[in-house]
Amino acid sequence: MPTVDEILDQIQLRGVEAALEYTKRFDGIMLTTEEIVFDPTTATAPKLPPEEVSALSFARDNICRFHEATRPQDVTITPQPGITLGERYVPLGRVGIYVPNGGYPLVSSLLMQVIPAQVAGVKDIVVAIAPKDGLALDSRWLFALQMLGVRQVLRLGGAQAVASMAYGLKGFPPVDMITGPGNRFVTEAKQEVFRRGLCGIDLIAGPSEVLVIISDPSLAENAAYDLLAQAEHADDAKGIMVTWRPEVKSAVETIVAQETRRYEKPLGQIELHLVDSPIQAVSLANRVAPEHLGLMGDEAEALENQIRTAGALFVGPYSGQALGDYTAGPSHVLPTGGSGRFLSGLTTRTFMRRMSVIHTTDDLPENYLVHTQKLAHLEGLHYHEKSMRVRHYAREDNPS
């Protein structure tokens, strides 16, 4: 079994040839050079049930609306006459979006990444989807790709997809940013291409997680099913409930036990914690820094502003985690494993660069030139000082 480093090295060295070999070896599918990249907009439009079309369109519109409203705007200030300062947001040129292609078509992952990139202004978007059961894509994948207007799909998965997007292939330029969750090989490959300085990445996706703080026994069913919804992602997913009321813990425990006995697929870990007070519950939540954090009960709104580290916060009777996963609007690509202490979820900012702008005119106050020279002299940087001194002399020789 080749290591991720070896896969990246081979893609760099042999390009398409290596990508084809790894796809045959890992996915059992033989592709030709011409089949690696295709344009889904040229395929016959698939027919989906009207309710699925309606749901996908509803999600698309909400995601688009949210990201248009939160797209960062350029800022300009003039602190004094003669100097204008600003921040300019510039979309990345080309991005690669990885979407897992497992048992079900995770079209929500596609929408939650492509739409923010489009709203950010990225013109060149490639989506990597591992081939499965031949070349044909599931009709729901194809519909979503066409609905979004994606024109480039890379028929690769795993580390070879990440490497191909980072290094580029013949006729397939490298990308500036790679986003999206995947298995441990995808995650390791993303870390490595970033370490090699090839492109940016969004987050290091770990096992999915939710923490629910609940105080109302009548909401036990809501909490239990949110925990179970998280646990069904994978056997390493985690659902955590925190309460200071024993009857709430007992009610949630009963529902979870009943459901897990009759559920046939593997579930992740579910933990139920009893603490002494709301303050302890919030303290625990901020230490865990969960991907998703739900607040249920009369204290929810009072506790909301005390939560500092969650990837996403869910408050209110209908704010189940699934609402955020599919239709609310904010992207569901969120920090995991406690990284919410210092990272945020995917937004339009993920697909943009922030550039500072300093613009001066002849009206620049003298003290900018004087103090800049003094600080350069203080740090012993001769040419820094001189670069400003020549400008200062030029002004004195040619006063306006």
Quick one: which of 323, 327, 58 has its CA closest to 210? 323
Q: Where are the domains of the chain?
A: 4-202+348-353, 209-341, 367-397
The one-letter code for the residue type at 171 is: G
Helix (H, G, I), strand (E, B) or coil at 145: helix
- Is 379 assigned a ligand-binding role in the annotation? yes
Locate the DSSP E strands across 92-157. 94-98, 124-128, 152-154
- Domain covering 209-341 in this structure, CATH number: 3.40.50.1980
Beta strands at 292-296 and 312-315: parallel, antiparallel or unpaired = parallel
Residue 62 in marked binding region = no
Is 80 annotated in some ligand binding site? no
User: Could you confirm whether 382 is annotated as catalytic?
Assistant: no
Q: One of 188, 192, 209, 291 is an active-site residue; which one?
A: 291
The burial class, CB within 10 Å (0-12 / 13-18 / 19+), for 383 is: exposed
| 359 marked among binding-site residues | no
- The token pair that represents 111 in the structure block: 């929408």
291 belongs to the catalytic site = yes
Per-residue pLDDT at 400: 58
Q: How far is the C-alpha of 303 from the C-alpha of 217, rounded, in Å?
A: 18
Q: How many Cβ atoms are within 10 Å of 392's Cβ, its own excluded?
A: 15
Cα-based distances in Å from 82 to 86, 358, 366, 384: 14, 11, 10, 21
Q: What token pair was written down for 379?
A: 């740090």
How far out from the chain centre does Cα 288 lie?
19
- In this prediction, residue 399 carries a pLDDT of 66
Q: Would you give per-residue pLDDT tens digits along the chain (400 residues)?
A: 899 999 999 999 999 999 999 999 999 999 999 999 999 999 999 999 999 999 999 999 999 999 999 999 999 999 999 999 999 999 999 999 999 997 788 999 999 999 999 999 999 999 999 998 777 889 999 999 999 999 999 999 999 999 999 999 999 999 999 999 999 999 999 999 999 999 999 998 889 999 999 999 999 999 999 999 999 988 899 999 999 999 999 999 999 999 999 888 889 999 999 999 999 999 999 999 999 999 999 999 999 999 999 999 999 989 999 999 999 999 999 999 999 999 999 999 999 999 999 999 999 999 999 999 999 999 999 999 999 999 998 877 776 5
> How many residues does this entry show for the chain?
400
Q: Is residue 35 part of an annotated ligand binding site?
A: no
Q: List phi, psi (to 5°) of 66.
A: -65, -45
Residue 264: its pLDDT value, please? Answer: 84
Strand partners, 357: 86
Listed in sequence order, the residues at least 6 apart from 395 whose beta carbon sits closer than 8 Å to its beta carbon are 362, 369
In the structure encoding, which two tokens stand for residue 7, read together?
């896969």
Q: Is 236 annotated as a binding residue?
A: no
Instruction: Provide CB contacts within 8 A for 314, sequence distance 6+.
Output: 292, 293, 294, 295, 320, 321, 323, 324
| Run of H or E residues at 103 | none
332 is in an annotated binding site: no
| The residue to which tokens 């080309």 are assigned | 94
What was the pLDDT predicted at 134?
Answer: 75
The answer to whether 83 touches 358, Cβ cutoff 8 Å, is yes
On the question of a common fold for 4-202+348-353 and 209-341, the answer reads yes
| CATH fold label, 4-202+348-353 | Rossmann fold (3.40.50)
Q: What is the DSSP letter of 291?
A: S
| Active-site residue, selected from the candidate residues 6, 292, 301, 332 | 292
CB 204 within 8 A of CB 299: no
359: left (phi over 0), alpha (psi -120 to 50) or beta: beta
CB 208 within 8 A of CB 237: yes
What's residue 206's pLDDT?
A: 87
Asked whether the beta carbons of 323 and 306 are under 8 A apart, the reply is no
Q: Which residues contact 347 (CB under 8 A, 6 or more apart)?
A: 67, 70, 116, 330, 331
pLDDT at 398: 72
Three-state SS for 52? helix
What is the per-residue pLDDT for 288? 97
- The whole-angstrom separation of Cα 294 and Cα 324 is 11
Q: Binding site annotation covers 183? A: yes
